[in-house]
Amino acid sequence: MLFSVVHTAHDAIVLLDHNGCVGFWNKAAESMFGYRAEEILGRAFAPPLLPAVHRAAYAQYLACAQSPGDQHEPETQTLVLEAIHNDGTPFPIECSLAPVRLEGRWSAIAIFRDATERRRTEADLRKLSRAVEQSPVSVVITNVDGAIEYVNPKFLELTGYTAKEVIGQTPSILKSGLTSDATYTDLWKTIISGREWRGEFRNRKKNGELFWEYASISPITGFDGAISHFLAVKEDITVRKLYEEQLLHQAHFDQLTELPNRLLALDRLSQALHRAHRNNHFVALMFVDLDNFKTVNDTLGHAAGDSLLVSAALRLRGCVRSTDTVARLGGDEFLIILVDLSSTAGCEVVNHKILDVFSQPFQLEGHELVVTASVGVAVYPSDGEDPHVLLRNADAALYRAKEQGRHTYRFFTVEMNLRALERLNLESQLRYAQEREEFTVHFQPIIDLRLNAIVGAEALLRWNNAQLGSVPPDRFIPIAEDTGLIVPMGEWVLRRACQQLADWRAMFGNSLCVSVNVSPRQFRETGFTQTVARILNETGIRAKFLELEVTERLLLDDSPQTTETLRELIRMGVNFAIDDFGTGHSALSYLKRFTFHALKIDRSFLHDATTNSGAAALATAIIAMAHSLGLKVIGEGAETKSQVEFLYAEGCDMAQGYYLSQPLPSDHFAEFLSGYTCQSYAGA
């Protein structure tokens, strides 16, 4: 039975006599070393089975086992060696030598165990230990009560604690009070049940600095399946969280003014409306727009414009409560949300505050400027219960405030909504008007009052739409300006006018000129000078026969681009006339800087000139001033014989208006040109 047990053992069991030769070799030894019993019995163990480097150590241990002395029983010797398999493959073994007395002599029983797996396990443990020690993340091991038993160097580096300070403590030493109790409750409930928990902590270092950690905490179980420890692997995500917070801030706040942007404003508006519905309160939505902001931006530059927006934001914040919201929608448009109002009286107060603070001058780039604001107001629930409806209605009210003189406020009315819808439809149709060939150009003759001859024509754009019919220019031109459609429209009118002039000159051979209105928006377009030059070249018209009409508003745009464009066109030989003179800000200083050809007296002066002495004096003064500067004067809007006679008597050079001729289609203008009869405008 003993023999059977020995032969079925998993470890190699070998009997070594006093000479170190093999006296017994079990089945496990055959398998481990690759030698059958008959091949090894009686032979020395060491030479074939141990490499030379280990034989001396083996011989020493064997000698000790076989020479125990006479006073006590010998001790079992254990050592780790490297053995050689019969096929020449080396492998590690653990050897235990126990002395045994046979036939009066000490021999040894050797038990060999293949240490390959143990070596592999030890190597893996060493690698794991190095990995944990050198890990870029924190590793913490606690007992089942949460007391810390191990922390790796990264934990100590990150938190600022020493190992002595944290061993025996619980991870609560890092608590900042900024992680919810619900998080910790969920954590313990999860890991005690044997599952892994993942989540984030806002913790505090030893020096008080806050940091973010993403943790994975798992239970460690023993052979019996019971939880013995908890393992926490934690990554410092502070940089990532700061970046996320920055992105979140950028997504919800305007970078220039630090005000909430449209996205956040609409979200806050939605919350305010829900709260107002529950509490039966009002919410006021105020759309604020700076008057003439573009002029400041274009004249003083974008840096001054940005400074103005920041200052405007501060002033608006000062007009409302801390619970209200001031947001920037973009450009010079701001939104104010007044919440939890018991009546609309508070809205009136804020309106007046805004008008008052924007009556005070701004200091910009060394200039003191007054930039006023216009306000449109819509109120929940009377003007809408949806954020987007309220926003649209507040915008309509703002549009009316600007229409009625600016630097004022208007509350939304149903009429405004109808006007807003009408404008929206007008804009929609206008976007496709040029593509549908709905535009035509009419020409109004310009008469030389001294020569009694037609010397030119003003090209006037007309729009006839299948749905809207004939749309007056004063309805669609401002929309074209706002949307930028004026640029392609203006180029089309300029080309059409020059081509028509070329046709008339071919027909009549006279020195007729054509005048074309140019929008400030066109002037700001890069390449406008090249566009004019190209059209003149394509149509064969010399530059001196083209007159571009600009307003005083354009002249006040003192930007380098506007100034250079004017100079380039004047150098080309293009003539310039100042349209609607006297209705805007004074442009007298600009008349000295540029070589203008003509000045047009606005029809408002001429309308009362024959009945009002003050209006007559102003018209006379404008004519005299223009002549003193070497400018021709054109009186437009001449609708009666007496008005034409007044212009003639005061020395005005030219006139145009319905009394002389209404704007005509190109073919009718040709007929008018060929059949025109000279007449005298001297007073009767």
Per-residue pLDDT band at 98 (split at 50, 70, 90): confident
CA dist 353 and 359 (Å) reads: 10
391: alpha, beta or left, given left = phi > 0 and alpha = psi -120 to 50? alpha
The answer to whether residue 247 sits within a structural domain is: no
In a domain, 102, yes or no: yes
> Residue 515 corresponds to which tokens in the numbers above?
């005048």
123 vs 599: which has the higher pLDDT: 599
Residues 6+ apart with CB under 8 A from 317: 259, 326
Q: 86-124 as b/e, with b when 16 or more CB fall inside 10 Å?
A: eeeeeebbbbbbebeeeeeebbbbbbbbbbeeeeeeeee
Give the mean pLDDT of 197-220. 93
- Peptide bond preceding 381: is omega within 30 degrees of 0, i.e. cis? yes
Are 590 and 478 contained in the same domain?
yes
pLDDT digits (tens, 9 = 90+) for 609-646: 888 888 888 889 889 988 988 899 999 999 999 999 99
DSSP notation for 290-308: ETTHHHHHHHH-HHHHHHH
Among 183, 207, 242, where does a domain finish? 242
**Between β-strands 453-465 and 513-517, what pairing exists: parallel, antiparallel or unpaired?**
parallel
Instruction: Identify whether residues 215 and 263 lie together within a single domain.
Output: no
CA 463 to chain centre: 39
Which band of pLDDT confidence, cut at 50, 70 and 90, is reported for residue 532? Answer: very high
Residues 238 and 260 in one domain: no
Residue 114 and residue 35 in one domain: yes
Question: Which among 524, 543, 532, 456 is positioned nearest to 486, based on CA atoms?
Answer: 524
User: Both 91 and 139 in a single domain?
Assistant: no
Summarize pLDDT for 276-299 with one digit per residue, the tens: 999 999 999 999 999 888 778 777
684 falls within a domain: no
* Residue 78, pLDDT score: 67
Condensed to tens digits (0 to 9), the pLDDT of residues 13-40 reads: 888 877 778 888 888 888 888 888 888 8
Q: What is the CA radius of gyration of the chain?
A: 49
Find where tokens 């990554």 sit.
235
* 262 and 368 part of one domain: yes
125 is a domain residue: no
pLDDT of residue 683: 43
pLDDT for the residue 104:
66
Is residue 214 located within the same domain as residue 271?
A: no
Q: Please determine, for residue 504, whether its predicted confidence score (pLDDT) is greater than 70.
A: yes
User: Over the chain, what is the mean pLDDT?
Assistant: 85
Distance CA 107, CA 23 (A): 10
Q: Can you read off the two tokens belonging to residue 150?
A: 């191990």
pLDDT of 572 above 90: yes
Q: What value, to the nearest 5°, has the Cα angle with vertex 670 and ends 667 and 674?
A: 145
| pLDDT over threshold 80, residue 661 | yes
H or E stretch covering 275:
helix 262-279
Cα angle: 501, vertex 504, 507; to 5 degrees: 155
Whole-number Å distance between alpha carbons of 33 and 329: 84
User: Do 289 and 322 share a structural domain?
Assistant: yes
Q: Stretch 480-505: mean pLDDT, rounded? A: 92
- Residue 559 confidence (pLDDT): 65
Which is more confident, 62 or 372? 372
**pLDDT value of residue 99:** 76
Task: Tell whether 445 and 389 lie within a shared domain.
Answer: no
Distance CA 128, CA 150 (A): 14
Residues 210 and 98 in one domain: no
Residue 4's pLDDT is 58
CB count, 10 Å around CB of 207? Answer: 7
Task: Output the CA angle 19-21-22, nearest 5 degrees.
Answer: 145
Domain count, the chain: 4
- pLDDT at position 135 is 75
In a domain, 269, yes or no: yes
Cβ neighbours for 488, distance < 8 A, ≥ 6 positions apart: 434
In CATH, what number is assigned to the domain containing residue 225?
Answer: 3.30.450.20
What percent of the chain is predicted at pLDDT more than 90?
A: 42
Q: Is residue 333 assigned to a domain? A: yes
Closest by CA position to 441, among listed 663, 133, 187: 663
Per-residue pLDDT, 315: 95
pLDDT of residue 134: 73
CA 663 to chain CA centroid, nearest Å:
49
Q: How far apart are CA 462 and CA 609, in angstroms?
A: 29
Q: Which residues are 575's β-sheet partners?
A: 547
Looking at residue 565, its pLDDT comes to 87
Q: What is the 3-state secondary structure (H, E, C) of 442-474?
A: EEEEEEECCCCEEEEEEEEEEEEECCCEEECHH
334 against 552, higher pLDDT: 334
Distance CA(53)–CA(506), nearest Å, equals 117
Residue 19's Cβ-count burial label (10 Å; 0-12, 13-18, 19+) is exposed
What pLDDT is stored for residue 5 in this prediction? 57
Is 204 among the domain residues? yes
pLDDT at 77: 57
Last residue of a domain, one of 242, 268, 286: 242
Last residue of a domain, one of 94, 119, 144: 119
- Tell me, yes or no, whether 204 and 70 share the same domain: no
Beta bridge partners of 517: 549
pTM for this model (two decimals): 0.54
- Length of the chain, please? 684
- pLDDT tens-digit series, residues 373-385: 999 999 999 888 8
Contact between 296 and 258 (Cβ < 8 Å): no
| Secondary structure (3-state) at 9 | coil
For helices 262-279 and 387-403, angle between their N-to-C axes, nearest 10 degrees: 110
Residue 205: half-sphere exposure toward Cβ, Cα within 13 Å: 16
- CA 255: distance to chain centroid? 9
Q: How far apart are CA 528 and CA 549, in angstroms?
A: 15
Please indicate whether residue 427 or residue 442 has the higher confidence score (pLDDT): 442
* Residue, of 556 and 548, whose pLDDT is higher: 548
- Supply 17's token pair: 């006599």
Distance CA 532, CA 541 (A): 11
Taking a C-beta distance cutoff of 8 angstroms, is the pair 625, 605 a contact?
no
Report CA-CA distances (Å) from 146 to 171, 338, 549. 7, 51, 85
Q: Do the Cβ atoms of 108 and 100 come closer than 8 Å? A: yes
The whole domain housing 578 covers 436-675
The CATH number of residue 632's host domain is 3.20.20.450
Task: Note the pLDDT of residue 71.
Answer: 42
Angle of the 486-508 helix axis to the 473-483 helix axis, nearest 10: 120
- For the segment 315-325, the average pLDDT, to the nearest whole number, is 94
Q: Is the confidence at residue 334, as pLDDT, over 90? A: yes
- Alpha helix (H) residue ranges in 358-437: 387-403, 414-430
The CATH number assigned to the domain holding 352 equals 3.30.70.270
Q: What's the pLDDT at 461?
A: 95
Written as one letter, the residue type at 633 is: V
Q: Is residue 420 part of a domain?
A: no
Q: Would the pLDDT of 684 be above 50?
A: no
Q: Are residues 458 and 572 in the same domain?
A: yes
- The helix (H) or strand (E) run that includes residue 588 is helix 588-593
